[in-house]
Amino acid sequence: MKNILITGGAGFIGSHVVRLFVNKYPEYNVVNLDKLTYAGNLENLKDIESKSNYKFVKGDIVDGDFIQQLFKDYSFDGVIHLAAESHVDRSITNPMEFIYTNIVGTVNLLNAAKSHWEGSFSEKKFYHISTDEVYGSLGDTGIFTEETSYDPHSPYSASKASSDHLVRSYHDTFGLPVVISNCSNNYGAFQFPEKLIPLFINNIKNKKPLPVYGKGVNIRDWLFVEDHAAAIDIIFHRGGKGETYNIGGNNEWKNIDLIKKMCDIMDRKLGRNPGTSEKLITYVKDRAGHDLRYAIDSSKLQKELGWMPSLEFEVGLEKTIDWYLENEEWMNNVTSGDYQKYYEEQYEKRENL
Ligand code: NAD
Ligand code: TYD
């Protein structure tokens, strides 16, 4: 029997990881620790919430005493740390939450693992989930490898870079058994509609303007979230201690091309005339410090641990759009209340180009 702590399990990626572990490993006890910020939603886990190998604990990783007590109560064998503030635009308007959760919260977990695991490091693993955004921005060519130097540009990516450095320092200084992965942009079910794909699906459906930052020429490398969860499973069990693995779909899309693709698919699915939804595209003031291009080389993970993305992007995108169209109630619930205020501040006050 293994006791596993998954932090941020009520969020987008975390909920897929919790679901995978609870279903695939009935012999593990999975504890999901989440503060339930605006991005955390227990509805994401309704299908597994009554399983006997699953427990939800509401709590804040910034509270060091609470984290120490949690480690005492549960004697964790492994940690998969996903809890974070994760949205670049929010990090520009309110950086401090990112510093507290992403940096201080991560160090609280490292300290608890270090003190509770003393003497038994060889049987434990602390897995820190990070992003490709720590590597900065690429020009027209090039690709991020595990050796690329860190060069973050947003408060979000700088806070994640800082947490990665701290995780590595606990390995190098104290011998803590850590592993890190840096993944490209995820898409799929249960993603909060502040990120490009679910936001635009919701706006297309409701015939609202599609706010494209700048000229829409920025490029992202998209990966289906269940492929990320599968990579996390493999790395947690077989990743080398002290190692880093890049995870990505080898699937680069210029924002404007992706947006037009989504408009086409949704016109078809919603029975609208071709070209209808593209008319909603509105070019707006660019994001400050907007990284031009991300692209991930995941060959180390593929060669050493045998992971491969499972889905063609077009198939994953259709599946994702279907999910949001079929789960109207989920979308209505997460866009009620504070979401309207966020939307007004981010978009209704933003200049059009
Ligand atoms: P998310 O914003 O959907 O979820 C984050 C979760 O963390 C939420 O459930 C939230 O309630 C919880 N949380 C926030 N602050 C907390 C705190 N102080 N204490 C406890 N819980 C807290 O994020 P996501 O997109 O699922 O990302 C998960 C992880 O994966 C993050 O570490 C992110 O940096 C990383 N990542 C995300 C992507 C992506 O495309 N979304 C890509 C690569 C890496
Ligand atoms: P996002 O989903 O926020 O992910 P990240 O910034 O972490 O890559 O944004 C993906 C891309 O889409 C990014 O280049 C910014 C752009 N974007 C828009 O053009 N309009 C929007 O309303 C949003 C949310 C993003």
Q: Can you give the pLDDT of all 353 residues of the chain as single tens digits?
A: 699 999 999 999 999 999 999 999 999 999 999 999 999 999 999 999 999 999 999 999 999 999 999 999 999 999 999 999 999 999 999 999 999 999 999 999 999 999 999 999 999 999 999 999 999 999 999 999 999 999 999 999 999 999 999 999 999 999 999 999 999 999 999 999 999 999 999 999 999 999 999 999 999 999 999 999 999 999 999 999 999 999 998 999 999 999 999 999 999 999 999 999 999 999 999 999 999 999 999 999 999 999 999 999 999 999 999 999 999 999 999 999 899 999 999 998 899 98
Is position 28 annotated as part of the catalytic site? no
Is position 318 annotated as part of the catalytic site? no
Ligand 1 closest atom vs CA 10: 9
Is position 65 annotated as part of the catalytic site? no
- pLDDT at residue 35, rounded to an integer: 98
Closest by CA position to 307, among listed 229, 240, 220, 222: 229
Backbone angles phi, psi at 3, to 5 degrees: -100, 120
Give the start-to-end residue ranges of the domains of the chain.
Answer: 2-352
One-letter amino acid at 275 equals G
Residue of the CA atom closest to atom 14 of ligand 2: 218
Strand 210-213 with 2-7, pairing: unpaired
Ligand closest to CA 199: 2
List, chain by chain if needed, residues with CB within 6 Å of any ligand 1 atom. Answer: 7-8, 10-14, 34-37, 39-40, 60-62, 82-86, 101, 105, 129, 131, 160, 183, 185-186, 192
- Reduce the DSSP state of residue 93 to 3 states and report it: helix
The alpha carbon of 288 and the centre of ligand 1 are apart by a number of angstroms equal to 22
Strand 219-221 with 252-254, pairing: antiparallel
Model's pTM, two decimal places?
Answer: 0.98
Homologous superfamily, domain 2-352: NAD(P)-binding Rossmann-like Domain (3.40.50.720)
Strand partners of residue 212: 283
Whether the CA torsion 130, 134, 135, 138 is positive or negative: it is positive
- Reduce the DSSP state of residue 33 to 3 states and report it: strand
